[in-house]
């Protein structure tokens, strides 16, 4: 089925943003009146603007592993209400207390440890250069991203989590690949079954304008589209990509190939 998709990636995302509009990622509760009630900030790319907002994104990137965003939103609200808005504040919280607060996010024992590990990392490492350890907020305060390879050395931080932190917390132009990306790209014939994370990422970054704003919206739009139409059991009727998608069947949507 490869090669049958009639649009290139830029046109794919033009169709998606034309259909859905800007997504306003990453949602930020700590931005208050600067955002919509749910924390999204559609069309405003000035956020995150503070160390606290960057840290909220870091916490969210860890908490969203293997769970729905609604659960993460609850856990984040509990953390922020408890005054956990910096790495040092999180590390000062007893482990049992941290586990209780983030319980709504699921896998709370593992995630508590992950949050502590990434908080310790943020305190010990400076921006993307060979600086010695910096003051409390480190790279969060400066807004300069840590090195990707350093992030990946942190226990519990995989490629998707690291790239989400780099893109959304620090504005680094890196394309985030997740389950939704794989599903949509596979159904459209844009990737092969053996393509790994870095192969998919490289293909996307070779075709798209290399900017954090572009990658921000592209990832957010793929998530939105996967939830609206391109589900595990797809809803092909009304899909804005229906005409170009090689897996659409013109009879019943149940005939669409399911790719998880």
How many CB atoms within 10 Å of residue 200?
20
The CATH homologous superfamily of the domain defined by 48-157: Hypothetical protein; domain 2 (1.10.340.30)
Average pLDDT of the chain is 89
Q: pTM for the complete prediction?
A: 0.90
What is the DSSP secondary-structure string of 50-98? Answer: SHHHHHHHHHHHHHTTTS-HHHHHHHHHHHHHTT--SHHHHHHS-HHHH
Give the domain ranges of the chain. Answer: 9-23+175-255, 48-157
Higher-pLDDT residue of 122, 132:
122
| pLDDT tens by residue, 40-80 | 999 999 999 999 999 999 999 999 999 999 999 999 999 99
Q: How far lies 225's CA from each of 7, 17, 117, 120, 217, in Å? A: 16, 10, 33, 35, 12
Give me the CATH topology for the region 9-23+175-255.
Endonuclease Iii, domain 2 (1.10.1670)
| pLDDT tens by residue, 144-178 | 899 999 999 999 999 999 999 999 999 999 999 99
| pLDDT tens by residue, 172-182 | 999 999 999 99
Q: What angle do CA 144, 159, 118 make, to 5 degrees?
A: 55
């Amino acid at each position: 089925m490869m090669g049958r998709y009639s649009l290139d990636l830029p046109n794919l995302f033009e169709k998606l943003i034309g259909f859905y509009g800007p997504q306003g990622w990453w949602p930020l509760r700590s931005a208050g009146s600067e955002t919509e009630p749910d924390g999204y900030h559609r069309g405003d790319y000035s956020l995150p603007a503070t160390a606290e907002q960057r840290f909220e994104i870091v916490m969210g990137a860890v908490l969203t592993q293997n769970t729905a965003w609604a659960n993460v939103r609850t856990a984040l609200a509990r953390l922020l209400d408890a005054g956990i808005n910096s790495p040092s504040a999180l590390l000062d919280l007893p482990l049992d207390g941290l586990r209780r607060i983030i319980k709504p996010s699921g896998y709370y024992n593992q995630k508590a440890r992950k949050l502590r590990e990434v908080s310790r990392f943020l305190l010990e490492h400076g921006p993307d250069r060979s600086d010695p350890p910096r003051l409390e907020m480190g790279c969060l305060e400066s807004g300069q991203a840590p090195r990707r390879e350093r992030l990946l050395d942190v226990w519990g931080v995989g490629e998707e989590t690291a790239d989400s932190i780099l893109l959304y917390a620090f504005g680094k132009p890196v394309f985030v690949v997740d389950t939704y990306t794989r599903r949509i790209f596979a159904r459209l014939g844009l990737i092969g079954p053996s393509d790994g994370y870095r192969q998919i990422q490289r293909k996307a970054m070779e075709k798209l304008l290399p900017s954090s704003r572009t990658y921000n919206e592209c990832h957010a739009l793929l998530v939105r589209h996967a939830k609206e139409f391109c589900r595990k059991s797809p809803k092909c009727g009304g899909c804005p990509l229906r005409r170009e998608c090689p897996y659409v069947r013109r009879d019943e949507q149940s005939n669409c190939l399911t790719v998880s």
